[in-house]
Amino acid sequence: MGDTSSGKSSLLSALSGVSFPSNDQLTTRCPTQLILARADTFRGTVRHVRFQSNGENDEGEEKQDLNRLEDVPDAITKLTQKLVDEGQHISDDQIVIEVCGPELPNLTLTDLPGLVRTIGDHEDQSIIPRVRQMVDRYMKQERTVIIAVVPANVDMHNTEILQAAQEADPNGTRTIAVVTKVDLVDAGAELAVHELLLNKKKKMHLGYHAVKCRSQRELTKGTNIEKGLANEMTFFGQHEYWCRLPTHLWGVSRLTERLVSILQDNIRRSLPKVITEISSRMAETQKSLPRLGTPLETPGSQS
């Protein structure tokens, strides 16, 4: 989660190995959920889930089978364009992609529209509060790990996402700040970003992590995710300034390790509450059973 053009989609692509559409414009117009699972063979679907006013989701008719992983960005673009054609600049509808494959992790990621502070002359003013309300709704889910994306080339005081994350997660136990676009930091400004990454400026309970995802130029050239990760390793390893960072604070691969650890801790904290919820629902179900009548236990009574 982060501001528009903060590098959210590129980061999710690097983490998941699945390409998201990414360009300089407002790409993400609705929540896009990517559900990954390990399996022997590939299979995948993408569907449009309509958001209902009562807070429930209702599967729409738009559902498409995916033949390969490379089909994901085109499928997302197609459904996003449908929202544009319907006149929806921002929507609470969901695009849900479910993909299984032999090299995929068991992981669920959600990409949200970026926080907006200014809009064009002919755009709907309600976009700003609608996006903030949507982001808040997702961040407040106690079992969600918040990846707060902060571009390194923007003044920290001009980013809204860290404040929003702090309001949703006051203890900071499920929020990690990921600093993107470190390759765009002006010469001479590296020290401030370095201090931030060492958690010496704006304190975060779980700290910060630096990444260098594929730039727009690399995306335009067709640089794939694997090559982008290799370029990142080279960048941090050889840069005269960023090579001084402790190795556990940079790189997508190490970020993945940190996220796994955060998620495991979050699950351990949530487990007692989950058990209580299950027990409560089971008790409610048991109470409702008598209303269903006498059980039909013999073949004769069931005919």
Report pLDDT for 120: 66
Of 147, 222, 158, 203, the residue nearest 180 (C-alpha): 147
CB burial class (10 A; 0-12, 13-18, 19+) of residue 27? buried
CB burial class (10 A; 0-12, 13-18, 19+) of residue 138? middle
- Determine the Cα–Cα distance for residues 256 and 275; give it in Å rounded to an integer: 28
Report pLDDT for 296: 66
44 versus 155: the higher-pLDDT residue is: 44
Report pLDDT for 58: 56
* Contact by Cβ (8 Å): 76, 12: no
Report pLDDT for 211: 93
CA-to-CA dists, residue 292 to 43, 208, 281, 285, 286, angstroms: 39, 54, 17, 11, 11
pLDDT, tens only, 78-125: 888 887 777 677 888 888 999 998 888 888 889 888 887 776 666 677
* Contact by Cβ (8 Å): 193, 179: yes
Q: Which amino acid is at 171?
A: N
- Determine the Cα–Cα distance for residues 153 and 155; give it in Å rounded to an integer: 7
pLDDT, tens only, 227-247: 999 999 999 999 888 888 899
Report pLDDT for 233: 93
pLDDT, tens only, 199-211: 988 889 999 999 9
pLDDT, tens only, 147-180: 999 998 887 776 888 888 999 999 999 999 999 9
Both tokens of 17, joined, read 């190995």
Please report which residue ranges of the chain form alpha helices under DSSP H: 8-16, 72-85, 127-139, 161-168, 190-197, 216-221, 225-238, 252-288, 299-302
1 has a pLDDT exceeding 90: no
Both tokens of 173, joined, read 């136990």
206 versus 298: the higher-pLDDT residue is: 206
- Determine the Cα–Cα distance for residues 57 and 121; give it in Å rounded to an integer: 32
26 has a pLDDT exceeding 50: no
61: confidence class by pLDDT, cuts 50, 70, 90:
low
* Contact by Cβ (8 Å): 211, 205: no
Percent of the chain clearing pLDDT 70 (strictly above): 88
In sequence order, which residues have a C-beta less than 8 Å from that of residue 117 and are 6 or more positions away? Answer: 3, 128, 160
Report pLDDT for 277: 86
**Buried b vs exposed e over 72-87: b needs ≥16 C-beta within 10 Å?**
bbebbeebbebbeeee
Average pLDDT over residues 244-255: 91
Share the mean pLDDT of the chain: 84
- Classify 274 as helix, strand or coil: helix
Domain boundaries, the chain: 144-286
Percent of the chain clearing pLDDT 90 (strictly above): 22
Report pLDDT for 146: 92
Q: Which CATH number fits domain 144-286: 3.90.1300.10, 3.40.50.720, 3.40.50.300, 3.40.50.261?
A: 3.40.50.300
198: confidence class by pLDDT, cuts 50, 70, 90:
very high
220: confidence class by pLDDT, cuts 50, 70, 90:
confident
* Contact by Cβ (8 Å): 83, 22: no
- Determine the Cα–Cα distance for residues 177 and 234; give it in Å rounded to an integer: 22
Report pLDDT for 263: 85
Average pLDDT over residues 18-34: 74
Both tokens of 265, joined, read 């801790």
* Contact by Cβ (8 Å): 18, 62: no
- Determine the Cα–Cα distance for residues 179 and 211; give it in Å rounded to an integer: 6
5: confidence class by pLDDT, cuts 50, 70, 90:
confident
